[in-house]
Amino acid sequence: MRFRFLSAFLVALVSSMPVTAAPPAPATAPAPRAIPGVRVERDVRYVPDGDAAQVLDLYVPEKAGEKPLPLLVWVHGGGWRGGTKAGNPGVALIPQGYAAASVEYRFSQKAVFPAQIQDCQAAIRWLRANAKKYNIDPDRIGVWGDSAGGHLVALLGTAGGTGAFAPIGGNADVSDRVQAVCDFYGPANFNTVMEQAAADAVKNIYPFNTPRDPYSGLIGVHMGADKAKTDAVSPVNHVSKDDAPFLILHGTADVHVPFAQSVELADALKRAGVSVTLQRFPGGGHGGPAFNLPAVRTLIRTFFDKHLKGADVTVEALPDAAVTVPPAAGR
């Protein structure tokens, strides 16, 4: 569950904006370069005396405005066992009146679920508890993630504030609810993913219940062996009518996460009366050029503007033709 789209997405997103975000750097590279007009605090501990992975990066304008800013929190993908918080597409929206953060979390090799969502919820509570210090509006927090990160932000949107997962890291009296969720092709139901993958015309690349399988690696047992765990890890099982609005983006030819996973989540949210927009990418994979199209970037910004800024705009899925990249362009 790699996030192959992210570097290209960042380049495309910032090309028309005055701020340029540095791409993820190799481990041996020097410290990340400064971002003009943006104050960055890196590796901030959101769990005091916690694990080295329980840190976040925070990006705010150098010049504080008169009003607190809505916050976009990025959660990276990587199969819950890899990836980096270094790349954050939300940084490009800082000139448009946002602050941004990137969350690191413990990987499944170190701690199985629910450690990952407990970390993400701890980060949200820390950010909300420290909102005044960073001129952030604690009532306007949006989350955004891809793949495994998409799964975690979907859980933030559906399980936030419910007490489904024991809080860690302090700030237990602070809410971990969020106000908007942008989910890039995240798994939604561990009880159905194997069946959907088997039925999918696009062959899933993961041999389930083997060392290569990130799904069973996350929960620490074979898929289907412990329904309580597969229920708890699945965002569809936490959906309720007071969930945050969702924007879900997913390719129909995804070989990592079946497209049916996002359809299932969108249907569950609709049944509960939650605002949800499902953007499908015909023939799209697990990321790729279509996710970087200007119309898609505009859709994402419109979604956050509506739900975090109260903008009088309409969020509607784009027609297939607008998100289909010709084969030559996709090579």
Is residue 24 very low, low, confident or very high in pLDDT (cuts 50, 70, 90)?
very low
pLDDT band at 256 (very low <50, low <70, confident <90, very high): very high
The pTM of this model reads 0.90
Fold held by 5-23+35-330 = Rossmann fold (3.40.50)
pLDDT digits (tens, 9 = 90+) for 37-70: 999 999 999 999 999 999 999 999 998 788 999 9
pLDDT at residue number 328: 57
Q: How far apart are CA 59 and CA 90, in angstroms?
A: 9
Q: In what order do the strands lie in the sheet with 69-75?
A: 38-45, 55-61, 99-103, 69-75, 136-146, 180-184, 246-251, 276-281
- The 10s digit of each residue's pLDDT in 91-132 is 999 999 999 999 999 999 999 999 999 999 999 999 999 999
